[in-house]
Chains A and B, each alone.
Chain A
C-alpha cells in the first residue's frame, strides 16, 4: 500500500467521532499532566494501560500518543511561569521563558512557546509521515562511537551556557558529571557513590535535580528579595500579541529546530531533553546577539520549544517502524501496544496500517487541538502569577514535592530535592550558572556509557572512536562550535580596540 493511501486510511480512523474524542481527551490530560511540575507522561501512560483494555487499539494508542505530546506541549507552562520544569524536556525552556515572564511578558512567552511547539510538532509529523520507514535506517545507524561524538558536540556548548565566568561554568559542569556517575554502573554492575544507600542505586532522577536547582532555588530567592521593587512588574501578564519582529525572530529557530529536533528524536536515547538543549545552544551559537540568550530572548525560548516537540514525533520513528523504544516514555508506550495485542516493528505498516497511519494522522489533529486549546487559555493560565506571592511560593514548593514523590514514590528523593534546592541557592548566590550543571548531568551518563561500550567492543582501541565518517563529522562540527565564539570575541575585541583608537 502506498503511503498516501495509507495516510488516507489513517485520516479516516483519526477523523472518526471516537478518534477525535479520544485524541482530545489525550491531549487535554497530557497538557494538564505536563503543567504539573515533575509529573510526566511516563506515569500517565502506565496508569492508562489498564483503562484501555478492550478499547479499539488505534483509538487507544492515539489517545496515549496525545498524552505524550500533550505533556511536552504543556510542560513549558510551569517552566515559563514558575521556573519549575513540568517535564525534563522543558528545562531549557525556562532559561529564557522565565526571564521573559519576570519582565512582565508572561502572555507573550506562553504564546511563543505554544506557537513554536505547534510548528515543531506539525512539521515533524509531516516528516514522520513522509520518511518514517526510510528513517528507520537512521535510527539504527548510531552505534556507541557515534553517540559519544554527539554527546561530545553537546558538551562544547558548556561555555556558551554561562554569561559570566567560564571557570564557574566548568566547575558546575564537573559537578554535574560527578552526579551522573552516582548509582549502579551499567558496564560493570558495581555501585558507585551510593554509600550503601539502596535509594541511590538507580542514580538521581534528572527531574529531582532540575526542580531543586531551578524551582526551589528560585523560591528561596523570591523569599529573599520579597521586598524588592523589581518584582512589582511580576503580576503583569502583558499582551499576548506577537509583533512582526517577534515572528521574524522565531522564524529561524522554528524552521531549523523542527528538523534538528526531529532527527535527534529519531535517535534512540537522545530524545526531547537532549534535543531541547542542543536546539537552545545551536541557536545561541548562530545568533547575531547571543548575549540576549538567558535574559528573555525570543529565539532562546522558541528554539527548545520547537525542538522538544519535534523530537517527540521523532521518537515515534524507532518505536513504530522498528519496535525499539528510545526513551522511558516510549518504552511504556511499547508496553501499551503489547497489551492491545499489537507489536510495533518493521511489519506494523503492513499488518496494522490503521494503527500506524492512524497515530500519525491523529498527531496533526492533536497539535491543532493543542494550539486551539492553549492560546485562548493563556490569559487564564498566566493568572497564576497574580496569586499573592506567599501563596504562590507555597504552591510551587508543594507541587515540586508532589512531582518528585510521583517519580518513584520515595521520601528519600524529597530530601535529595531539598539538598539540590540548597545547592541551587548557593550556586545562585555565588553566581555559578546552573544550566551547565544540568547539561553535563544529562550528557554525562550517556557519554560515559557509550565511551565504555565502544572501548569494550574494540578491546580498548581508541581509534574505534574515530573510525567512521559520522563520528569524524561530529567531531569537526564540535571543533567549529568550539572555535566560532572564540573567533567572534576576538573580532569584537579587535573592533572595539580599533574604535577606541579611532576615537
Chain B
C-alpha cells in the first residue's frame, strides 16, 4: 500500500509546486491623466485558440503595429482560450494593466447575456473598433428558394420546416444574425430549427442536404458560390459589398427586410484606464487602420474597414446590447 501511495504523492507534490508558481502578479494601472506610452512590451490577448477570427485579428494588427514601426514597444499575441472568451476576459480583468489589451467582437455581448461570463463590455474600456464582417445566408444550389423573401415566406407558414445550420452554439454569432433578420421579416423566431456544427460541418450539411440554410460569414461562401455549388440568398450588411463575387450578394435590406447585423471586431483594455492611455491606443490603432499594410490584410481576409474611436465604440456597444438582449430574451436565452 505504501508503494501505491508513493506514486500519488509524487503527483501531489507536483500540484503543490504548481500552486506555488501561480502567484498573482497584479499591477496597479498608471496614475494621472497626462500623456502615456507603454513602458514595456504590450500584450494583445486573443480570448480564443490559435487560428480563429480573434486570433487572426490580434496577430495581423500586432504585426502591422510592429512592422510599420507604429508602436515603439514590442507586441506579443497571447491566446487565452476558453468559455467563449470568458477566460481571456477574466485574465485581463485580473491583470488590470494597461499593457494588456484584447480583441473582441459580438460574443462580448452574447456571452454575458446568456450567463456564461460575469464580466460584460461595461467592465472593459473600448479602445477602438477596427473591422466589420457581415453574415451571409447560403443555400445549396438546387434549393427551392431564390431570395430571402421566399425563404421567410415559407418560414412564416411553418418555421420548423427549415433547418438552419451554423458553427456557433445557439445564442451566439451565427444563430443570432439569422434570428435578428428573420425576426424583422416576421418569422416566429422561437420555432426556428437551428443546429450547430463544428469543423466545417455547416457547409457540408447544406451541400449534402442535411440542413437547408447555412448562416455564416460572407467570406466562407465565396468559393462555393464561384464554383456554382451554393447560392447566397442575402447578407446582413447595410449595402452591397464591393468585390468580384461579393457584389452579386443581395442585402436583406434591398429585399425589403429592414435589418442589418455587423460582426464588428475591435480592441479593449481593462476597466480603469486613464484618458492618456485610451488616447494612446486610439491613435495607434487609427494609424494601423489607415495603413496600406492593413488594407492589404483586410482585402485578403475579406474584412471591411470600420474604425470607431473609444467614445463612438462605447455608444455603439450599448445600442448593440439593447437590441440583442431583447432578441435573446424572446428566445429564452437570457440567464439571470
| B8-A202 in contact (CB<8A) | no
Minimal Cβ-Cβ distance residue in B for A329: B51
| B117-A198 in contact (CB<8A) | yes
Say yes or no: A415-B18 contact (C-beta < 8 A), given A268-B204, A409-B78. yes
Q: Does A186 contact B (CB under 8 A)?
A: yes
Q: Does A456 contact B (CB under 8 A)?
A: yes
Enumerate chain A residues within 8 angstroms of B82, measured Cβ to Cβ. 198-202, 408, 410
| B4-A224 in contact (CB<8A) | yes
Question: Measured between alpha carbons, how far is A401 from B78 in the docked complex, in Å?
Answer: 18
| A325-B81 in contact (CB<8A) | no
Enumerate chain A residues within 8 angstroms of B80, measured Cβ to Cβ. 408-410
* Contact segment of A14-22, A27-35, A187-195: A187-195
- Whole-angstrom distance between the Cβ of B329 and the nearest chain A Cβ: 14
Enumerate chain A residues within 8 angstroms of B125, measured Cβ to Cβ. none
Q: Does A322 contact B (CB under 8 A)?
A: yes
Enumerate chain B residues within 8 angstroms of A409, measured Cβ to Cβ. 78-81
| A410-B81 in contact (CB<8A) | yes
Enumerate chain B residues within 8 angstroms of A43, measured Cβ to Cβ. 50
Q: Does B227 contact A (CB under 8 A)?
A: yes
Say yes or no: A187-B205 contact (C-beta < 8 A), given A414-B18, A456-B163, A456-B193. no
Say yes or no: A408-B79 contact (C-beta < 8 A), given A189-B170, A220-B8, A269-B199. yes
Within 8 A of B (CB), among A216-230: 216, 219-221, 223-224
Q: Does A238 contact B (CB under 8 A)?
A: no
Q: Does A107 contact B (CB under 8 A)?
A: no
| B210-A143 in contact (CB<8A) | yes
Q: Does A453 contact B (CB under 8 A)?
A: yes
Q: Does A387 contact B (CB under 8 A)?
A: no
Enumerate chain A residues within 8 angstroms of B201, measured Cβ to Cβ. 144, 268-269
* Contact segment of B33-41, B55-63, B131-139, B252-260: B55-63
| A220-B169 in contact (CB<8A) | no
Q: Does A331 contact B (CB under 8 A)?
A: yes
Minimal Cβ-Cβ distance residue in A for B297: A339
| B196-A323 in contact (CB<8A) | no
* Contact segment of B84-92, B281-289, B306-314: B84-92
| A140-B223 in contact (CB<8A) | no
Within 8 A of B (CB), among A330-371: 331-332, 335, 338-341, 343-348
| B22-A411 in contact (CB<8A) | yes
| A453-B197 in contact (CB<8A) | yes
- Whole-angstrom distance between the Cβ of B46 and the nearest chain A Cβ: 10
| A345-B223 in contact (CB<8A) | yes
**Using an 8 Å CB-CB cutoff, how does the interface string of A94-134 with B read, 1 for contact, 0 for none?**
00000000000000000000000000000000000000000
Minimal Cβ-Cβ distance residue in B for A339: B300
Q: Does B147 contact A (CB under 8 A)?
A: no
| B8-A425 in contact (CB<8A) | yes
Out of A198, A220, A401, name the residue touching B10 (CB < 8 Å): A220
Minimal Cβ-Cβ distance residue in A for B222: A343
Out of B63, B116, B198, B229, name the residue touching A198 (CB < 8 Å): B116
Q: Does A473 contact B (CB under 8 A)?
A: no
Question: Measured between alpha carbons, how far is A206 from B207 in the docked complex, in Å?
Answer: 29
- The SS class assigned to the A binding surface is helix
Question: Measured between alpha carbons, how far is A453 from B79 in the docked complex, in Å?
Answer: 30
Question: Measured between alpha carbons, how far is A456 from B210 in the docked complex, in Å?
Answer: 11
Minimal Cβ-Cβ distance residue in A for B79: A409
Question: Considering residues B81, B204, B205, which has the most beta carbons from chain A within 10 angstroms of its beta carbon?
Answer: B204
Enumerate chain A residues within 8 angstroms of B226, measured Cβ to Cβ. 345-347
Question: Measured between alpha carbons, how far is A241 from B78 in the docked complex, in Å?
Answer: 45
Q: Does B208 contact A (CB under 8 A)?
A: yes
Q: Does B7 contact A (CB under 8 A)?
A: yes
Enumerate chain B residues within 8 angstroms of A323, measured Cβ to Cβ. 203, 223-224
Minimal Cβ-Cβ distance residue in A for B22: A411
Question: Measured between alpha carbons, how far is A52 from B87 in the docked complex, in Å?
Answer: 30
Enumerate chain B residues within 8 angstroms of A49, measured Cβ to Cβ. 56, 59
| A456-B195 in contact (CB<8A) | yes
| A141-B208 in contact (CB<8A) | yes
| B163-A327 in contact (CB<8A) | no
| A346-B227 in contact (CB<8A) | yes
Q: Does A185 contact B (CB under 8 A)?
A: yes
Q: Does A184 contact B (CB under 8 A)?
A: yes
Question: Measured between alpha carbons, how far is A199 from B10 in the docked complex, in Å?
Answer: 25
Minimal Cβ-Cβ distance residue in B for A49: B59
| A143-B15 in contact (CB<8A) | no
- Whole-angstrom distance between the Cβ of A328 and the nearest chain B Cβ: 7
Enumerate chain B residues within 8 angstroms of A144, measured Cβ to Cβ. 195, 197, 201, 205, 210
Say yes or no: A459-B210 contact (C-beta < 8 A), given A191-B116, A345-B224, A422-B11. no
| A347-B7 in contact (CB<8A) | no
| A346-B224 in contact (CB<8A) | yes
**Using an 8 Å CB-CB cutoff, how does the interface string of A170-205 with B read, 1 for contact, 0 for none?**
000000000000001111110100000011111000
Enumerate chain B residues within 8 angstroms of A487, measured Cβ to Cβ. none
Enumerate chain B residues within 8 angstroms of A47, measured Cβ to Cβ. 50
Within 8 A of B (CB), among A381-422: 397, 401, 408-411, 414-415, 418, 421-422
| A50-B59 in contact (CB<8A) | yes
- Whole-angstrom distance between the Cβ of A209 and the nearest chain B Cβ: 15
- Whole-angstrom distance between the Cβ of B17 and the nearest chain A Cβ: 10
Q: Does B6 contact A (CB under 8 A)?
A: yes
Q: Does A324 contact B (CB under 8 A)?
A: yes
Question: Considering residues A201, A346, A429, A459, which has the most beta carbons from chain B within 10 angstroms of its beta carbon?
Answer: A201
Question: Measured between alpha carbons, how far is A56 from B304 in the docked complex, in Å?
Answer: 25
**Using an 8 Å CB-CB cutoff, how does the interface string of A138-153 with B read, 1 for contact, 0 for none?**
0111111100000000
Enumerate chain B residues within 8 angstroms of A457, measured Cβ to Cβ. 163, 193, 195, 210-211
Enumerate chain B residues within 8 angstroms of A326, measured Cβ to Cβ. 199-200
Enumerate chain A residues within 8 angstroms of B219, measured Cβ to Cβ. 338
**Using an 8 Å CB-CB cutoff, how does the interface string of B150-188 with A read, 1 for contact, 0 for none?**
000000000010010000011110010000000000000
**Using an 8 Å CB-CB cutoff, how does the interface string of B1-24 with A read, 1 for contact, 0 for none?**
001101110110011001001100
Q: Does B30 contact A (CB under 8 A)?
A: no
Within 8 A of B (CB), among A293-341: 318, 322-328, 331-332, 335, 338-341
Question: Measured between alpha carbons, how far is A169 from B195 in the docked complex, in Å?
Answer: 32
Minimal Cβ-Cβ distance residue in A for B223: A345
Q: Does A53 contact B (CB under 8 A)?
A: yes
Enumerate chain B residues within 8 angstroms of A397, measured Cβ to Cβ. 14
| B18-A418 in contact (CB<8A) | yes
Q: Does B326 contact A (CB under 8 A)?
A: no
Q: Does B316 contact A (CB under 8 A)?
A: no
**B-binding residues in A (CB < 8 A):** 42-43, 45-47, 49-50, 53, 139-145, 184-189, 191, 198-202, 216, 219-221, 223-224, 268-269, 318, 322-328, 331-332, 335, 338-341, 343-348, 397, 401, 408-411, 414-415, 418, 421-422, 425, 429, 449, 452-454, 456-457, 459
Q: Closest 3 CB pairs between A and B?
A: A345-B223, A220-B7, A46-B50
**A-binding residues in B (CB < 8 A):** 3-4, 6-8, 10-11, 14-15, 18, 21-22, 49-52, 55-56, 59-60, 63, 78-84, 86-87, 90, 114, 116-117, 160, 163, 169-172, 175, 193-201, 203-205, 207-211, 219, 222-224, 226-227, 229, 297, 300-301, 333
Between-chain CB contacts (< 8 Å), 22 pairs: A42-B49, A45-B50, A46-B51, A49-B59, A142-B204, A143-B204, A144-B195, A144-B205, A144-B210, A189-B170, A189-B175, A199-B82, A199-B87, A202-B84, A216-B11, A220-B7, A223-B7, A224-B3, A331-B52, A343-B222, A347-B227, A408-B87
Told that A184-B116, A408-B87 touch, could you supply 9 new A-B pairs with CB distance under 8 A? Answer: A46-B59, A140-B208, A186-B196, A189-B170, A318-B200, A326-B200, A409-B79, A411-B21, A429-B4
